[in-house]
């Protein structure tokens, strides 16, 4: 199952710089592990914003929820999820 996910990060300005840096480091490690697993298929920065557009390929909505809600930055993100299905006019024969 494919999901388009937008994540907008809002770290509180009062958060100490070292704490924010550590949070981002742990987040990066987790995001890269999920990408290596094939579950987090695409990760793109939205130009000019502390936001990303991602494509997840998971087995269920519950799996997606668990994946997203256990991200270290989850408490500081606004997240929008859009389920995707094949477009009847698509000429691609895969979903890559």
Ligand X SMILES: O=C(O)C[C@H]1C=CC(=O)O1
In this structure, what token pair is assigned to residue 4? 């388009």
What separation in angstroms does the CA of 71 have from each of 19, 39, 90? 15, 14, 32
- Residue 35 interacting with ligand X (CB under 6 A): no
Among 9, 53, 79, 81, binds ligand X (CB under 6 A): 9
Among 11, 20, 27, 39, binds ligand X (CB under 6 A): 27
- Choices 12-20, 24-32, 55-63, 80-88 (CB under 6 A): range interacting with ligand X: 24-32
Question: DSSP letter at 66?
Answer: H
DSSP string, 9-43: E---TTS-HHHHHHHHHHHHHHHHHHHHHTSEEEE
Comparing CB distances to ligand X, the nearer of 4 and 89 is 4
Residue nearest to ligand X (CB): 52
Query: Under the rule (CB under 6 A), what is the footprint of ligand X?
Result: 7, 9, 27-28, 31, 43, 52, 73
């Amino acid at each position: 199952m494919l999901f388009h996910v937008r994540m907008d990060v809002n770290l509180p300005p009062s958060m100490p710089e070292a704490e924010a840096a550590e949070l981002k480091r742990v987040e990066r490690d987790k995001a890269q592990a999920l990408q290596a697993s094939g579950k987090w298929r695409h990760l793109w920065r939205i130009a000019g914003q502390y936001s990303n557009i991602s494509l997840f390929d998971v087995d269920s909505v519950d799996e997606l929820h668990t994946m997203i809600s256990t991200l270290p930055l989850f408490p500081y993100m606004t997240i929008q999820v859009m389920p995707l299905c094949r477009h009847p006019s698509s000429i691609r024969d895969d979903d890559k």
